[in-house]
Amino acid sequence: SERTLVLLKPDAVRRGLVGEILSRYERKGLSIVAMEMRTIDGAMADQHYAEHVDKPFYPPLREFVTSGPLVAAVLEGDDAIEVVRLLNGATDARKAAAGTIRGDLALSNRENLVHGSDSPEAAKREIALWFPNLH
Catalytic residue positions, numbered: 115
Q: What is the nearest approach in angstroms of ligand ATP to the Cβ of residue 135? A: 25
Phi, psi dihedrals of residue 55, rounded to the nearest 5° = -85, 150
What residues pair up with 39 in beta bridges, in sequence order? none
Separation between Cα atoms, residue 7 and residue 117, nearest integer Å: 9
**Can residue 62 be called a binding residue for ligand ATP (CB under 6 A)?**
no
Nearer to ligand ATP, 50 or 133 (CB): 50
**Is residue 10 close enough to count as binding ligand ATP by CB under 6 A?**
no
91 is in an annotated binding site: yes
Q: How many CB atoms lie within 10 A of CB 67?
A: 16
Residue 100 binding ligand ATP, by CB under 6 A: no
3-state secondary structure of 73: strand
Please report the beta strands in 12-134, taking only residues with DSSP state E, as ranges in sequence order.
31-38, 70-77, 114-116
- Pick from 116, 127, 130, 131: which binds ligand ATP (CB under 6 A)? 116
Binding positions for ATP are: 9, 57, 85, 91, 102, 112
